[in-house]
Amino acid sequence: MHFKTIFNRVTEYKPFVVDHVHLVEHDSGPVMEVTMRARGNGQPECSDCGNRCPGYDSMPTPRRFDFIPMWMIPVVLIYTMRRVQCATCGVKVERVPWATGKNQLTTEYQWFLAGWARRMSWKDVAVSFRVSWDHVYNSVKHAVSGQRTQPENSVRVQRYVASLPEGDCEEGAAGDSYSGPLSRDAEDEQSD
């Protein structure tokens, strides 16, 4: 079975498709690099309003988005964002189904980390998956707001998160744990 087949099985990124996959050796170890491309000649969507708009141009360099690691190998999506000429919002970057805003983590990875943050402290999650504490914090924040907005993507990961039993982390013992529907920190942040 090809990596592409497995990847398509766990994601729903239409109208984007995997262009190619390479296992690239970096100094820090191998990285699975998944290069994405837009399929066909459909118009891109404005990231602000979601309307389909004519393309304007492409960003000069591709962006990298961290996906859930596979067999302890980091998985990175690579995509050159286009900009659109939106009649309502002006020139904006396009919307992609795997991430929002300037997030370096894919939505799936955020749900994954938020799920583990229910079982252990945010610091332990950061160390275990070799991500920054901020990434864990932002993932929990995303999960908290996502429970309200129910994003259409990453449904499988959401199910996975929902299936994880909550940990009995002592509050404050190891920093922060996302052991309730809302951690105190995330709740504070939300009300800002």
Question: What does the DSSP 8-state code read for residue 94?
Answer: B
Q: Least distance (Å) from Zn ion to the CB of residue 87?
A: 7
* Cα–Cα distance measured from residue 155 to residue 151, given in angstroms and rounded to the nearest whole number: 8
Q: Least distance (Å) from Zn ion to the CB of residue 191?
A: 28
Is 86 a residue that touches Zn ion (CB under 5 A)? Answer: yes
The residues, ordered by sequence, that sit 6+ positions from 16 with a Cβ below 8 Å of its Cβ are 36, 37, 38, 39, 79, 96, 97, 98
Nearer to Zn ion, 24 or 49 (CB): 49
Tokens of 92: 């904006």
* Cα–Cα distance measured from residue 138 to residue 141, given in angstroms and rounded to the nearest whole number: 5
- In the set 23, 24, 88, 172, which binds Zn ion (CB under 5 A)? 88
Is 186 a residue that touches Zn ion (CB under 5 A)? Answer: no
Is 93 a residue that touches Zn ion (CB under 5 A)? Answer: no
Question: What does the DSSP 8-state code read for residue 143?
Answer: H
Region near Zn ion per CB under 5 A, out of 34-42, 47-55, 59-67, 132-140: 47-55
Applying CB under 5 A, the residues found at the interface with Zn ion are 46, 48-49, 86, 88-89
